[in-house]
Structure 1
Amino acid sequence: MRTKLLFVYFFILSFSTTLFSQNKKELAGKILSDKKMDTVYAMAEKLLAKGFNAGDGYPQVWIRDMNTFIETSCKVYNTDSIRKNLLTFYKLQQPDGEIVDGYVLKGHVTWNDPNIYTNDLDPLHVGFINTVETDQETSLIQAIGKYIRVTGDASILNEKIGDKTVLERMAFSIDYLLKNRYSEKYKLLTGATTQDWGDVQIEGGAVVDVDANTHWAIDVYDNSMFVIALNNMIAFSKVAADKQKWTNLKELTSTNIRKYLWDEKNHKFIPHIYVNGSPFPADFDENKIHYHGGTAVAIEAGLLSKQEIALVNKQMLKNVELSGAPSIGLTVYPPYPEGIYKNSTTSKPYVYQNGGDWHWFGGRMIQQLAANGFTQEAYDELQPMLNIVLKHNKFYEWYGVHGEPSGSGDFKGSAGVLAKAIAMLRDWAQKNK
């Protein structure tokens, strides 16, 4: 009897394995024959071969954008130029270690930005900083990590910029964050109150710059970006003491993200912890809002289990259904209600960062689904993004709730994340065909 049961068990196991293998082959064939993926990837390569400015509405080179398209750029653009562009950020590094958001040639458009940053190490460029953000330093570290992985050029870490190597300047930039953007109570990074990963503060005022209106807060996006950057620092470091230092900081940050920001009951990240009071009325429950972008980056940082990834992806799809948005690029759901705060730029529901549909972050969620074994979901959830790109024959910055294109056209961040998502799915398909 026992032998018979074992035979039945192994027969069922063998049948299931065969069926799973057949399903994988079928999906691989579907991916490899998908002409929409081919067309969008070719469009992305063509756009990214044109340079490093963020889009046709952004003449500057911004590091938070470049970080998301650099891998494809390294395949279609001169890598010496890419290296020089990366090094320019460290030439413009400020005396306290702060990294600029972006830069442009002196004499070119400045948007009348009050925060103009220069450095004698680079007499050709001026830099700009949206001071409400806390992702400039971490984006640059990540971008150099991606550059090294694609090109194999680790010598960039030893390049001397003034009196410091690039690796030393990376550490200097982390010191800046720990001294100026850090909560000793929570042992997490702080920033102005924005919508998820956004660069527009909720309270209005100076809008992209910290001012008297700013409420300092802690969120999952900034801190997940920090964890990813620390993973890079661990990989870069050759000295055991340095490697241990970054490992300890990464583990502390990861632990506290889970401790303070993960809502176990609702399987979501809370929007903010407020350091010195909230900008919202006492009766407003901000934790009803889901932050899609920060969640995708948290997955990249390794902060969620496979089961939790499945749950948050299911929530994202439900939010898309409830909102009517085109894709899981939907930034937040539900959006902040109109009139809850002063800033008219971002107060309207489903406009810009308050519930707009951004492939720039939706594409990152596709990448993480693919990276964590959710290949069918990644392929299915990519389709609406491909369709809207092909419909308009452009990579727009964001889309309205009914799919209307908005913001900068030819937005390289969107092109970069979609190209990488397509490449990841293709790589999987080649291994499983």
Structure 2
Amino acid sequence: MNIMKKIILSSLLIILTACSSNKENKELAATILADEEFKSVKERALEVVKTGFNAGDGYGEVWIRDYNTFIELSAEVFDKETLKENLLVFFRLQGEDGNIIDGFIPKEKAVATEGGYKYIYSDLEPNYCGHKNTVETDHESSLVQAVYKYVNKTGDREFMNEKVGELTVAERMEKSMEFLMNARWSDKYGLIYGATTADWGDVQHSHPWGVFITDDTHYCVDIYDNAMLLIALDNMMELIPATKAKWQPIRKEIAENTMDVLWDEKNQKFIPHVYLEGSPYPDDFNENEIYYHGGTAVAIEAGLLNKKQIKTSLDKMISNVKESGAGSIGLTMYPPYPEWAFENKGMYPYGYQNGGDWTWFGARMIQQLINYGFVKEAYQQMKPMTDRVIVNDGFFEWYTVDNKPEGSGTFRGSAGVLYIAIEQFYDWAEQVEY
């Protein structure tokens, strides 16, 4: 075959492939736009978020890691002043060292109990007090991300200049990032650290409750906390360009160190934990057999994985769902930790954050699949999540391995991430050329 024939045949193959792909895209777009479940879930999400800002009907607090995932949905039904006020409460209760509280609650509802939350007060905040789950390291990054979403959704760039005490919001955002570098930085690994939790969870392995750092805490670096920080730094530098000179090199270093320290190239997965001073688990327990779904999804959002690695990650998640019998790729991890690995009795295998199935993170993976062009795969993996909203008549906090709902039925974080994913599907479908 001469060169000209090869060129012609190659060109024809490209054209035929493009035509086939375009036909598939048209069919998928039509299916998405006609999906009645998507329409219903979107409407239900709007109704749920109208009722407030606490995590769900089982909670009194407004938590930043939750608010970060439904503030865009809230912007559809609340005015910007209301959204802004919630953000300002977190800044008013910010610690002198820059740390950000986990959540806030009206002062009159804060009940001090033995071994319970240690409430945080500030002269800057007359109505609310806060508390901080110290085993987690995502409060600061969650607040920066929430501010970014608020500004993008409302266009309120002046919010950066609003004074909270003697500092502007912009200055307080940067101070929160500095807290992580000063108080949660591992010189050994060049990454931020936290306590030993299950993937993105906020319950450490030691202590019957597990939300406070104790003498038994084992510190480690993990993918979720560092990926959340990378996203926050990107958001902050976009909102406050003057911070870029200082923070861009730091961002680059953290991204490189994350992949060097936490990425298992051979197994194409993230190592669950790399410990600062030794693992709390027995030598015969291979923790690296566990695959973290939630942290991997956030790592993709942080831009750490390429398309080939993303596809491999998705394939592994789907395989884990089949092997476990779970309902969706919101499966926190697979396999789960053994029953003895956590003192908290709710952290049994496939319980709560130890292998529970959370739409709250599963839909974040859906969002990233759409962002990276895996729309067909995203639609296939989205359907189990929207199906169960309809079947169970609610946005439940998590699901058991046999797909039974648990926790709050008005979990706004789940509503928020599903809403954004559906919006992304619609945006993609409407851009397909017919």
Pairing 1:408–2:412 present: no
For the 8 Å contact 1:328–1:362, the answer to whether it is kept is yes
| 1:225-374 paired onto structure 2 within 5 Å | 225-239=228-242, 242-346=243-347, 348-374=348-374
Report how far residue 78 of structure 1 moved. 1.7
For the 8 Å contact 2:205–2:344, the answer to whether it is kept is yes
Going from structure 1 to structure 2, the CA distance change for 1:111 and 1:54 (only over 3 Å counts) comes to farther
Report how far residue 345 of structure 1 moved. 2.6
Task: Report Cα offsets for 1:398-432 as digits up to 9, x if no partner.
Answer: 01011111111200000000111111011000001
In 2, distance between residues paired with 1:301 and 1:181? 19
Report how far residue 171 of structure 1 moved. 1.0
Paired amino acid for 2:123:
D
Paired amino acid for 2:185:
Y
Give the equivalent residue in structure 1 for 2:70: 69
Going from structure 1 to structure 2, the CA distance change for 1:100 and 1:341 (only over 3 Å counts) comes to closer
Report how far residue 6 of structure 1 moved. 2.4
Give the equivalent residue in structure 2 for 1:39: 40
Report how far residue 208 of structure 1 moved. 0.5
Task: Report Cα offsets for 1:236-282 as digits up to 9, x if no partner.
Answer: 2232xx21211111101100000000000001000001111211011
For the 8 Å contact 2:53–2:67, the answer to whether it is kept is yes
SS in 1 for 2:126: strand
Give the equivalent residue in structure 2 for 1:210: 213
In 2, distance between residues paired with 1:217 and 1:250? 19
Task: Report Cα offsets for 1:134-192 as digits up to 9, x if no partner.
Answer: 00000000000011111111111110111100010011111111111110111101101
SS in 1 for 2:337: coil
Report how far residue 20 of structure 1 moved. 1.1
**TM-score w.r.t. length of structure 2:** 0.97
For the 8 Å contact 2:208–2:345, the answer to whether it is kept is no
SS in 2 for 1:95: coil
Paired amino acid for 1:21:
N
Give the equivalent residue in structure 1 for 2:382: 382
In 1, distance between residues paired with 2:216 and 2:344? 11
Structure 1 window deviating more from structure 2 (253-262 vs 203-212): it is: 203-212
In 2, distance between residues paired with 1:116 and 1:70? 24
For the 8 Å contact 1:205–1:211, the answer to whether it is kept is no
Structure 1 window deviating more from structure 2 (362-371 vs 103-112): it is: 103-112
In 2, distance between residues paired with 1:202 and 1:120? 35
Structure 1 window deviating more from structure 2 (255-264 vs 172-181): it is: 172-181
Task: Report Cα offsets for 1:167-225 as digits up to 9, x if no partner.
Answer: 10011111111111110111101101000000101112551111111101110000000
Give the equivalent residue in structure 1 for 2:155: 152
Pairing 1:199–2:188 present: no
Structure 1 window deviating more from structure 2 (145-154 vs 10-19): it is: 10-19
**TM-score w.r.t. length of structure 1:** 0.97
Superposition CA RMSD, Å: 1.2
Aligned length: 430
Which of 116, 123, 134 matches 2:119? Answer: 116
| 1:73-88 paired onto structure 2 within 5 Å | 73-88=74-89
For the 8 Å contact 2:203–2:209, the answer to whether it is kept is no
Task: Report Cα offsets for 1:276-321 as digits up to 9, x if no partner.
Answer: 1211011110000000000000000000000000001000000000
In 1, distance between residues paired with 2:344 and 2:48? 33
Give the equivalent residue in structure 2 for 1:174: 177
Report how far residue 12 of structure 1 moved. 1.9
In 1, distance between residues paired with 2:169 and 2:342? 41
Paired amino acid for 2:280:
P
Report how far residue 385 of structure 1 moved. 0.6
Paired amino acid for 1:255:
E
Report how far residue 341 of structure 1 moved. 4.2
Paired amino acid for 1:137:
E
For the 8 Å contact 2:263–2:271, the answer to whether it is kept is yes
Going from structure 1 to structure 2, the CA distance change for 1:89 and 1:18 (only over 3 Å counts) comes to same
SS in 1 for 2:220: strand
Report how far residue 339 of structure 1 moved. 1.9
Give the equivalent residue in structure 2 for 1:397: 397
Structure 1 window deviating more from structure 2 (13-22 vs 261-270): it is: 13-22
Which of 127, 134, 139 matches 1:136? Answer: 139
In 1, distance between residues paired with 2:111 and 2:371? 39
Pairing 1:220–2:223 present: yes
| 1:83-102 paired onto structure 2 within 5 Å | 83-102=84-103
Give the equivalent residue in structure 2 for 1:52: 53
SS in 1 for 2:128: strand
Report how far residue 340 of structure 1 moved. 3.4
Give the equivalent residue in structure 1 for 2:14: 13
In 2, distance between residues paired with 1:300 and 1:167? 23
Paired amino acid for 1:159:
E
For the 8 Å contact 1:157–1:165, the answer to whether it is kept is yes
In 1, distance between residues paired with 2:261 and 2:5? 52
Report how far residue 2 of structure 1 moved. 3.4
For the 8 Å contact 1:196–1:293, the answer to whether it is kept is yes
In 2, distance between residues paired with 1:297 and 1:85? 24
Paired amino acid for 2:244:
K
Task: Report Cα offsets for 1:353-398 as digits up to 9, x if no partner.
Answer: 1110000000100001011100001000000011111101100100
Give the equivalent residue in structure 2 for 1:421: 421
In 2, distance between residues paired with 1:417 and 1:111? 33
For the 8 Å contact 1:233–1:246, the answer to whether it is kept is no
SS in 2 for 1:85: helix
For the 8 Å contact 2:205–2:341, the answer to whether it is kept is no
For the 8 Å contact 1:132–1:208, the answer to whether it is kept is yes
In 2, distance between residues paired with 1:394 and 1:428? 26
The runs of 5 or more residues in structure 2 that have no matched partner are none
In 2, distance between residues paired with 1:174 and 1:5? 56
SS in 2 for 1:25: helix
Paired amino acid for 1:431:
Q
Report how far residue 111 of structure 1 moved. 6.6
Report how far residue 343 of structure 1 moved. 3.0
For the 8 Å contact 1:220–1:261, the answer to whether it is kept is yes
For the 8 Å contact 2:332–2:356, the answer to whether it is kept is yes
Structure 1 window deviating more from structure 2 (417-426 vs 205-214): it is: 205-214
